[in-house]
Structure 1
Amino acid sequence: MKVGFIGLGNMGLPMAKNLLAAGHELTVWNRTQAKAGPLREKGARVANTPAEAARGADVVISMLADDHAVQDAVLGKDGAHAGLGKGAVHVSSSTISVALSEKLTEAHASAGQGYVSAPVFGRPEAADAKQLWVITSGPRADVERVRPLLEVLGRGLTVLGEKPSAANVVKLSGNFLIASMMEALSEAFALTRKSGIEPKLFLEVFQSVFARAPIFERYAQLIAEEKYSPPGFTMKLGLKDVGLVLDAGRGAEVPMPLASLLRDQYLGGVAQGHGDLDWSAIGALVAERAGLKKR
């Protein structure tokens, strides 16, 4: 399949690499072209604009940081929307707002293009190992058309229906659960550590008694070992996602007081200069408030 891929960050690069390894014809675009070097060496073509990456493609996949980046790369000047042909499909794997997903749905429909939302759960190492979990929604025919690509990216796929923004609601809800989990883990580690218990011992208890999912166990380990760099997902992006959760809750008239707490936690971390650390560095903020020094 001819595939355009837009965005080669921590998640996009391994995803694009796996598509190329699966035999798909790949044209890639990234704001910093140097990041495309490893893919060029393996046979990918490097485009100068998102429109060029989308031109002639059966499917274009975008994996970008936030609403602004997606708006610019898809709907902006020389954006993918301008290069994508009629009948071709845009797959958005970015974590974006429900409102932007609905805007993309309308823009692509008016141009005779397909649009499928397919955000993923998993860190960069999971993307590299093809262990992401993909959630997707959109018109059935378009979802089935891109299914072979999505199945290359991960270990499983959940289809949520024909409304593209449904996948964005589920992705934001999932990230809210992860953020809430890290707040609880951070408070538990701070309490046990200040009570004289070695973090590695509490981690052992956690792993033996509570851990059932790799993502839960992995974040507990990061907090216990205070390994917040290099980031798999930054605190700035965590702040963005929790803000999007609150926007979605406001739109649906769903009170989310814990999400408000988490937003303030992440905002404080970013304000203190920790925005480029892993979002599990919420553990460092809680430890600092407890009077604990970095080990």
Structure 2
Amino acid sequence: MLGHVVNMSTSSVKVTFLGLGSMGSAIARNILKKGFQLVVWSRTTSKANDLIKAGARLAATAREAVTDADIIVSCLFDDKSCLDTAQGENGYLMGVKKNAIHVNTTTINPNTSTQLAKLHEQHGAFYIAGTVLGRPDVAAAGQLRSFLGGNLEAIERARPVVEAYSGGSIIVVGDNPAHANVVKLTANMVLAANLSLFGQIYALNERWGVDDDITQQILKVFYSHPGLLAYENRIRNRDYEIGEGEGFRVEGGLKDVNAMLTAGDEVGVPLPFCSVLREQYASIIGNGLKDLDWSAVGDATRINAGLSLPPRNKRE
């Protein structure tokens, strides 16, 4: 049994951040802006340069990074990177202190989340699945939406840190970490399904000679969320380029769709539309578009219909 979670003032909390990709760096900057003492670690040390200039300290290993941490926040790529960073001689679990709390923002399989929770318990630490909804630009603005699952006292202790980047709201899904991962996967399922649907609608209307402006007007009758409309506009204009510190790539989209299918298989729930999405993402990758924003799945219908792929809009 883990020890009781001790409350402490925000000013005394020592935070470690693991993983400094475009999303992780944005989250870490917001934590630092709130005045927390911050130690960072990344496999690519150059990604920490801006944070170091802003006052963070760089650790050589994940194990070293967490030695004094009260709260650990991580933003890695997938299940393997989460497990690899946790385990081994230089894994953070070898250095984590008793009753430390780890908030993992990575979108991973629910069963991997359960596995990580058990590993943390064995080392006397708390594991919170803290998946986030939003792109890197939303993270930079501190407006991510967080789904938190795990020990409820630990969640409250970690809340001041999570609030630093979660202006979009915090939703506590309960004391089961896996549930936060299920919720995030279903949220991404809604997004991915609509990205594909937008592509199908534009391709069909184009084949019938309907002007794109008219198609967009019709879509706006049914959709009002600015984030979803931004994706619709990307698909209309084929604006799939990813600028510095923004976007979610096609390979990440395929990774998440595979995680959706695995989560369904593990509880006997067929997800046929996710099977379609997997084939569409594979088609996009097969056509050399893997480094684009994941909304490029909107071109899958164009490819399969034999429509030409006009030049994409490119950022300066």
Tell me the TM-score normalised to structure 2 length: 0.90
Does 2:269 align with 1:254?
yes
Alpha-carbon spacing, 1:76–1:202, altered in 2? closer, same or farther (3 Å):
farther
Match of residue 259 from structure 2: 244
Match of residue 204 from structure 2: 191
Shifted more, 198-207 versus 185-194: the winner is 198-207
Alignment of 1:178-217 (within 5 A): 178-207=191-220, 209-217=221-229
Conserved? CA contact 2:284–2:299, under 8 Å: no
Conserved? CA contact 2:193–2:277, under 8 Å: yes
Q: How many pairs does the alignment contain?
A: 294
Q: Deviations over 1:167-193 (max 9, x none)?
A: 001111111111111111110011122
Alpha-carbon spacing, 1:40–1:178, altered in 2? closer, same or farther (3 Å):
same
Matched residue type, 2:188: N
Does 2:312 align with 1:293?
no
Separation (CA, whole Å) in 2 of partners of 1:232 and 1:139: 32
Match of residue 157 from structure 2: 145
Matched residue type, 2:195: M
Conserved? CA contact 1:194–1:292, under 8 Å: no
Does 2:57 align with 1:45?
yes
Separation (CA, whole Å) in 2 of partners of 1:200 and 1:48: 53
Does 2:175 align with 1:159?
no
Q: Deviations over 1:62-111 (max 9, x none)?
A: 10111111111122331111111011011110001112101101000011
* Aligned partner of 2:184 among 158, 161, 171: 171
Q: Percent identity?
A: 37
1:118 partner SS? strand
Match of residue 4 from structure 2: none
Match of residue 229 from structure 1: 241
Separation (CA, whole Å) in 2 of partners of 1:228 and 1:132: 22
Separation (CA, whole Å) in 2 of partners of 1:199 and 1:124: 28
Q: Deviations over 1:213-262 (max 9, x none)?
A: 12211110110111111161111111111111111101111111111111
Shift of 1:280: 0.5
Separation (CA, whole Å) in 2 of partners of 1:212 and 1:131: 18
Shifted more, 261-270 versus 97-106: the winner is 261-270
Separation (CA, whole Å) in 2 of partners of 1:76 and 1:191: 52
Match of residue 134 from structure 2: 122
Alignment of 1:27-176 (within 5 A): 27-154=39-166, 155-176=168-189
* Aligned partner of 2:17 among 5, 14, 29: 5
Tell me the TM-score normalised to structure 1 length: 0.96
Shifted more, 230-239 versus 85-94: the winner is 230-239
Match of residue 274 from structure 1: 289
Conserved? CA contact 1:26–1:44, under 8 Å: yes
Q: Deviations over 1:140-176 (max 9, x none)?
A: 1111111111111122000011011110011111111
Separation (CA, whole Å) in 1 of partners of 2:292 and 2:92: 31
Matched residue type, 2:186: S
1:120 partner SS? strand
Matched residue type, 2:212: P
* Aligned partner of 2:38 among 5, 26, 33: 26
1:143 partner SS? helix
Conserved? CA contact 1:200–1:225, under 8 Å: no
Shifted more, 50-59 versus 188-197: the winner is 188-197
